Amino acid sequence: MTALVYLLEDDIDICRLIERSLGRQGFVTRSFRRLAEFERELRRQIPDLCLIDLSLPDGDGLSLINGGLLPEGVPRVIVTGRGSVTDRVVGLEIGADDYIVKPFEPRELVARLRAVLRRSRIARGASGAAAQRTVARFGEWHADLSACTLVHLDGHRVRLSSSENSLLEAFLRAPGRVLSRSALLDATHGRSNEPFDRSMDARICRLRRKLTADPAEEELIRTVYGAGYIFVAEVDWER
């Protein structure tokens, strides 16, 4: 299936490089140099994935990542010249599905976008894995992975980003098992040569906060020091 990618990037040369690289691999790319143009087109048609630069003439890409304009479940990948570990961790923590630093190798860009799309389609139940059960109950929660949604028994509803949804799914499909940071990275972010281990701690912290409707409730994701994390609740999958 052909994927539609929206590229928000004000550097003409970078735009041409990405368009050429993705076009050769069968992607359809629409490029925008200003945030306002991107927002107008987004209201007209929803893409399969968004590539977003952080430094823009009329705004900051970070506000787009976590500002609520992008529909839940649409993967968002940051492509930027900001390469510090702090910038990368912040970008991933606020909801980006991947973080690619310029200059980049075009083949790696394509591979990483495919990995993000693959994880997103699995999370939405839109790929060959759609036959898997995607609705689960655990503790005080009801999770619909295909809709990136959590509902508490008290009626409180929580929306999950694509990356949070993938992280929760990794835990739900392996309750009672210790999952290392490496295993969680493979399940939610894809293997990379860059040292993102600590960003996983930040992601888990965010998911924990969303799973804590009542501070008195038992913590569902526990840290196993030196080993990783374990999901302690029993999980019942609905057919």
Q: pLDDT for 206-225, tens place per residue?
A: 899 999 866 666 789 999 88
Are residues 119 and 194 both part of a single domain?
no
CA 87, CA 9: separation in Å to the nearest integer? 18
CA 218, CA 23: separation in Å to the nearest integer? 49
- pLDDT value of position 189: 58
Are residues 52 and 138 both part of a single domain?
no
Would you place residue 49 in the very low, low, confident or very high pLDDT band (cuts 50, 70, 90)?
very high
Q: What is the pLDDT of residues 110-141, one digit of tens each?
A: 999 998 888 777 666 543 444 467 899 999 99
- pLDDT value of position 124: 61
Q: Which structural domain, as residue segments, surrounds residue 69?
A: 4-124
- pLDDT value of position 149: 92
Residue 11: is it exposed, middle or buried by C-beta count within 10 angstroms (0-12/13-18/19+)?
middle
Closest by Cα among 7, 102, 92 to 47: 7
CA 193, CA 88: separation in Å to the nearest integer? 14
Residue 100 has pLDDT above 90, yes or no: yes
Closest by Cα among 76, 69, 80, 13 to 36: 69
Percent of the chain topping pLDDT 90:
40
Q: At what angle do helices 12-24 and 106-124 cross, to 10 degrees?
A: 70
Degrees, nearest 5: CA angle 145-147-151: 75
Are residues 208 and 101 both part of a single domain?
no
CA 65, CA 45: separation in Å to the nearest integer? 17
Q: What is the mean pLDDT of the chain?
A: 84
- pLDDT value of position 127: 39
Domain count, the chain: 2
CA 21, CA 9: separation in Å to the nearest integer? 15
Are residues 21 and 112 both part of a single domain?
yes
- pLDDT value of position 28: 93
Degrees, nearest 5: CA angle 100-105-106: 95
Are residues 190 and 107 both part of a single domain?
no
Q: Which of 71-80, 123-132, 139-148, 182-191 has the lowest mean pLDDT?
A: 123-132
Hey, what are 166's tokens?
């993938």
CATH of the domain at 84: 3.40.50.2300
pLDDT, greater one: 197 or 224:
224
Percent of the chain topping pLDDT 70:
87
